[in-house]
């Protein structure tokens, strides 16, 4: 289960300097392979290949790009069970969820970009000239471990479709699925140099990509600190930066909602993927008069979660991805207790039924106040903070009292009432009444949750520059 080679200029190559770290199965804490860590020299080789390939790939027509993307999607479908299994092994997500969500939604990005590309108007005639959209150039793509293929596909697919070339740095914690996708892309016949893959850590490979003068754009999904660092390095060469960063989403349950049902749905949404989601509704805002009813419903929802071996189809929650993540979440649970929040489910330590692995007890705190760490910091684990309000204005104020602005959630039996609250939430995406996650609509954040948008048409246009042509004779 090794990822020792990089995909550079259409070939698999060993890194310039041999340096590896173990790939650890988070459910067993056992090493299952090794991944090579690249260097600035490896990044330079990939950027050189991507720059050379851009000269021809940027001039390809719509039909050629559609054909390649179609072959990638076909290869992805053929290997979907294997891709799901790799993600379960490297980052611990339950196999059922990995098949039904992790792998499937990644495939969707290739299918969606094909839909957008088919009819996209790259040129538009105006009264006095032409507005033309062209590929931005060489793109550096930096992706995380929590949705390994989803975040890769959401960047790679539109980059290919728009005529860009790219250098991908996936998370070194979850490199296996990224390597498999590179094999699929190679089999699809994408010309050499269009797609390149280098494994490595952020301080070495990520920073070399962000600072490279021949990279025209960087798209990063990661922590806010990582996004800040990338922006600082990219500023020196004035390259475009697209960021999908942290979140601390509020879930406002209005008084007219089905309180038990809304609370249970909110608990499960918070715990999806082990709580390792940037847009998880980790702050649940409930009318104060429904406090006891909401706490009872939350405890009941927690009792239905099944922890255990992620390869078992009946498991609904696996481990966190690493010891580092486990320690961070444990520290934040401890802070909630120390700062006076009411622990109503879960708590510190491993679940009794799990003797190994980075498992965390699904945890719910009530009576959380806006100044507590668990209300302000992105936990990235299965920890829910229940907060209580008296008026709708207070609920909106609490929801917006955060440096983040990735997503929001509103529950009400009256769609218009929910919509009115949604309009006041300072976030890039708001879900009403349990609406499913739609990857054709734009995804991205306000404030410290990032800049730019991914998915669908808006994600497609992130990879395009706008050119005005004046003086061309009118038709």
Residues annotated catalytic, as ranges? 244, 278
Q: Which long-range contacts (C-beta less than 8 Å, at least 24 apart) are formed by 456-461?
A: 456/112, 456/116, 457/116, 457/120, 459/113, 459/154, 459/158, 460/113, 460/116, 460/117, 460/120, 460/158, 460/161, 460/162, 461/133
User: Are residues 382 and 358 in contact, defined by beta-carbon separation less than 8 angstroms?
Assistant: no
Residue position matching structure tokens 């229940």 = 386
User: Are residues 294 and 386 in contact, defined by beta-carbon separation less than 8 angstroms?
Assistant: yes
Please count the CA atoms within 13 angstroms of the CA of 359 that sit on its side-chain side.
Answer: 23
Please count the CA atoms within 13 angstroms of the CA of 423 that sit on its side-chain side.
Answer: 6
User: Are residues 350 and 284 in contact, defined by beta-carbon separation less than 8 angstroms?
Assistant: no
Backbone angles phi, psi at 145, to 5 degrees: -95, -15
Residue 13 structure tokens:
């190559």
Which residues in 289-442 belong to E strands, given as ranges?
A: 342-345, 363-366, 383-389, 404-405, 408-411, 430-432
User: CA–CA separation, 270 vs 278, rounded Å?
Assistant: 10
Report which DSSP code applies to 353. T
């Amino acid at each position: 289960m090794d990822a020792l080679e990089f995909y550079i200029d259409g070939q698999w190559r060993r890194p310039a300097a041999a340096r590896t770290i173990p790939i650890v199965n988070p459910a067993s804490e056992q090493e299952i392979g090794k991944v090579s860590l690249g260097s600035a020299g490896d990044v330079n080789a990939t950027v050189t290949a991507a720059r050379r390939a851009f000269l021809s790939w940027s001039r390809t027509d719509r039909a050629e790009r559609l054909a390649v993307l179609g072959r990638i999607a076909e290869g992805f479908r053929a290997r979907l069970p294997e891709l799901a299994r790799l993600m379960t092994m490297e980052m611990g997500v339950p196999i059922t969820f990995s098949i039904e969500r992790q792998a499937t939604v990644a495939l969707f990005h290739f299918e969606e970009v094909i839909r957008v590309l088919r009819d996209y108007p790259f040129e538009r005639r105006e009264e006095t000239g032409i507005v033309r959209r062209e590929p931005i150039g060489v793109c550096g793509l930096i992706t995380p471990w929590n949705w390994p293929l989803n975040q890769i596909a959401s960047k790679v697919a539109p980059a290919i479709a728009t005529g860009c070339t790219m250098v991908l740095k996936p998370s070194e914690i979850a490199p296996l699925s990224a390597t498999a996708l590179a094999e699929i892309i190679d089999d699809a016949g994408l010309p050499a140099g269009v797609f390149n893959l280098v494994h490595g850590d952020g301080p070495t490979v990520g920073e070399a990509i962000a600072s490279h003068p021949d990279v025209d754009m960087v798209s990063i999904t990661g922590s806010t600190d990582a996004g800040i660092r990338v922006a600082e390095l990219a500023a020196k060469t004035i390259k475009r930066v697209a960021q999908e960063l942290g979140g601390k989403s509020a879930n406002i349950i209005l008084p007219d909602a089905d309180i038990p049902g809304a609370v249970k749905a909110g608990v499960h949404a918070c715990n999806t993927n082990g709580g390792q989601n940037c847009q998880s509704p980790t702050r649940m805002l409930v009318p104060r008069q429904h406090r006891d009813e909401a706490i009872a419903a939350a405890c009941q929802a927690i009792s239905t979660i099944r922890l255990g071996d992620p390869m078992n189809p009946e498991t609904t929650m696996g481990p966190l991805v690493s010891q580092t993540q486990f320690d961070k979440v444990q520290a934040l649970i401890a802070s909630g207790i120390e700062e006076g929040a009411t622990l109503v489910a879960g708590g510190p330590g491993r679940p009794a039924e799990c003797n190994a692995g980075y498992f965390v007890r699904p945890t719910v705190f009530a009576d959380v106040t806006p100044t507590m760490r668990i209300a302000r910091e992105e936990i990235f684990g299965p920890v829910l903070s229940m907060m209580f309000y008296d008026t709708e204005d207070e609920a909106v104020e609490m929801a917006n009292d955060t440096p983040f602005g990735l997503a929001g959630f509103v529950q009400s039996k009256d769609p218009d009432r929910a919509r009115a609250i949604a309009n006041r939430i300072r976030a890039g995406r708001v879900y009403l009444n349990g609406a499913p996650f739609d990857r054709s609509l734009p995804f991205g954040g306000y404030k410290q949750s990032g800049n730019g948008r991914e998915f669908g048409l808006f994600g497609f246009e992130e990879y395009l520059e706008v050119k005005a042509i004046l003086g061309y004779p009118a038709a």
